[in-house]
Structure formats: structure tokens, C-alpha cells
Amino acid sequence: MNVLSNRDIPPLMSERRVSVIGAIMTAVGPVSMAIFTPAMTEIVHAFGTTEAAVKLTLSLYFAGFAFAQLICGPLSDALGRKPVAFWFMGIYLLGSLVALVAPTIEVLILARFLQGVGAASGIAISRAIVRDLFTHERSARILNLIGIILAAGPAFAPTVGGLTMELANWHAIFLIMTMLGVAIVLVIQFGLTETVARDPSRLRPRAILNSYRMLLGNGYFMGSSLAVAGAVGALYAQATVLPFVLMDRVGLTPSQFGFGMLMQSGMFFIGSLVVRGLLPYRSAYAIVPIGIGFIAAGSVVMAAIHHMLPLTFLSVMGPVALYAFGIAFIMPAMSTAALAPYPLMAGSASALSGFLQMGAGLTGGLAAALIGDPVLALEMVIPGMGLVAVLSWAFWRTRPEPRMASLTRAEISVAGS
């Protein structure tokens, strides 16, 4: 068995330490997306290119982020969480440096892809680390705390990006990302303790494919993962259209847009605090329906309100805020449910779950680009993803939780095949 027992874990890897390091690792991806969005309209003019080309910098970022998780997750199961996280964050740092000096939009697109590949390890490996050390309610409590800390980064990132655009230019945004890359590499090197034993035999392609086939065929895993994917993927998808809706249609400046995005992240932060207050009294799974209700309400209002009211900041961001508030209620429980039955392949389970989230964001972003009109895309794509979240949760409720003992034997068979 390659999972270290609790007594083997150094005492410094407490719940708080895991929460802080996990939040820092996880935040790299969303922050790198959010801080960039206020610069998108300026980059169109700086490179003399089109909105579609600049949107591609986000789409390729999503693609790198999504597919790289499928690689870094199994790698971390076999080679250890720490070295894989270190080298992938090194790729993120390289991408940030390339973006900083990019002479053309094509080079910038490539740099953003590298950033996405590197940042992918943050989500996949941090959740695997939580599963290595904690399960069920303790895991949900840590994931909630990660969510609270995580909310602060994306909450202020658009504001920082907007102010940076007012004071400097788009190059300065990538200078900030470069410094962030240096900081996260240092945190991993000096703050993270390894939580799994090295087992290179698990890198065999057949074992990896069998692991993913097992996960894809399990309704309990897929239901919980798709519930999170529909919810969180909507945030990623709308990031490709909100700058053009709020700045080009509503008329906000980059700094106003940055401050305005606090409404989304702020509501997620408030929701996470409410969840943390409820967890001592209610099971994490018992409060998921509250979040589902807010996601459904935000989706319905988003689809209808722009046909009834003028296009204003509040008519756009009101339903976005409802949606974000609901996400905070479903993420801890559904993320825990997706990983809990799989102690011997937590990296692969976390990677596939994260891939589905980013894949949903990528699909939503591409659908929005095909629609063309950013307002129409917001009205159609995001409610559709909310429907995916609601239906997936309803399906998950009908599925029995896999028995960990039987799965452990199956995983041992897969790893040794």
C-alpha cells in the first residue's frame, strides 16, 4: 500500500497547513485567469488583432489546464506529490516569462497554454494531498477552508489586474504572474511534505488507462464530479465573455471591471463562510441542496432578466452572484465524494475530476465564442451549465457509495496488471 498512514505524516502537516498550502496551489490557476481578464481588450489593440484571437489565449489556457491534469495526477501517484508539483509549477513560471516578453499574439497564446499546463498541478495535487491525509467530514472542512482562502485570490485578482492596467500596461500583469510563479515554487520546495510513497511501477500506460476507465464507469464518481464541473465550469466559461459584456456593452473601465468582479468572488467567499458556520451542525452533504437551489435561481434569472431589464452592471452581475454563492455549498461535499472511495489513486481521481471541471469551462467558452454575441452567450451557456450541475447532483443521489475495501483490491490489481 503506497499511502502513508496518519502516524507517518509529520505533525507540521496539520489541517491548517494543508489548507493554506492547498489554497495557494489551487489559487494559481484561477488567479492567473482572473488577473488577465481586464487586459483582454487592451491586448486586442496592442497586437492589432481580433477579440477572437485574444479569447483564444483563455481557451488554450483552459485546454492546457484541463488535459495536463490527466498527466500530473497519475504522475503524482507514482512519483510523489512534491516533485511533480514542483516541476509543473516550473512550467507555469516558464510560461509567465514567455508571456512577459511575447512579441506576437501567437507567442502569447503559446505562453498562456504553458501557464495552463503548469497551473494544472495545483488543483489536481492539492486535493489528492487532502485525500492522502483526511476523509469525509474532515476532508470537507479542509476543502471549505481552502475555498475561503481561495476566494480571496480570484476576488482581488481582477481588481489588481484593472489597477495594473490603469497604472502600467499588460506586460506588468505577466510580471505579477512571474513573481507568483517564483513564490509558489518556493512554497512547494520548503513548505510541502510528501504524503505518498514513490512507486514508479504505477506509471505503466495500461494501469493509468484502467484507473480512468474504472472512474469513468462509476456513477457515484461521475455524478459528484459533473455536479462540480457544471457549477465551477460556468465561472471559467463566463470569464471569456464578462469582460466584453461589462466593458464593451455596459461601459465599465478596466479598473471598474476589476472592482465589479468582487461581487462574484465576494459572494462565493460569503457562501464559504456560511458553510463553515453550518458544518459543526449539519453534514456537508446535507447542505448541498441549498447550493443547488441558488445555482438554479441564478441560472433562471440570468436567462431571463436581460429580456426584462436594461443591460446594467446589476442586471449582469446579480444572477452571477447568486450562482457563485451556491457553488460554495456544493464544492466541499461533492469534491470529497469524488475522491473518498479511491485512497490508492487519489491523484488520478482528483485529476479526472479537475479535468471535467476545466473541460466544462473550455466547452462553455468555445460555445460562447461560437455564439459570438457575448450577451446572448451569457444568457444561454451559463444557465445550461447550471442545468448540468443540478441534474448531475440529482443523479449522484441515486448512486450508492462504492465500498472502499473492494475498490482497494481492484486498484491493487490495476496497478499490478
pLDDT higher for 63 or 138?
63
* DSSP 8-state secondary structure symbol assigned to residue 35: T
Choose the most confident range, by mean pLDDT, from 269-278, 302-311, 342-351, 380-389. 380-389
- The residues, ordered by sequence, that sit 6+ positions from 156 with a Cβ below 8 Å of its Cβ are 262, 265
With contact defined as beta carbons under 8 Å apart, do 152 and 269 qualify?
yes
Least confident stretch, 4-8, 111-115, 212-216, 316-320: 4-8
The phi, psi pair for 397, rounded to 5°, reads -65, -25
Q: What is the C-alpha to C-alpha distance for residues 359 and 70, in angstroms, rounded to an integer?
A: 11
With contact defined as beta carbons under 8 Å apart, do 44 and 94 qualify?
no
- The residues, ordered by sequence, that sit 6+ positions from 376 with a Cβ below 8 Å of its Cβ are none
Least confident stretch, 257-261, 308-312, 409-413: 409-413
Structural domains of the chain ordered from first start: 6-416 (1.20.1250.20)
DSSP β-bridge partners for residue 212: none
Q: What is the CA radius of gyration of the chain?
A: 20
Q: Would the pTM of this model clear 0.85, i.e. be above it?
A: no
Closest CA to 129 of 167, 84, 161, 172: 84
Q: What is the C-alpha to C-alpha distance for residues 179 and 156, in angstroms, rounded to an integer?
A: 16
CA angle 393, 268, 39 (to 5 degrees): 115
With contact defined as beta carbons under 8 Å apart, do 221 and 40 qualify?
no
Q: Answer whether residue 11 shows pLDDT above 50.
A: no
Band the pLDDT of 414: cuts 50, 70, 90: very low
Q: Answer whether residue 98 shows pLDDT above 50.
A: yes
**Average pLDDT of the chain?**
82
Q: Answer whether residue 415 shows pLDDT above 70.
A: no
- The residues, ordered by sequence, that sit 6+ positions from 58 with a Cβ below 8 Å of its Cβ are 33, 36, 40, 112, 239, 240, 365
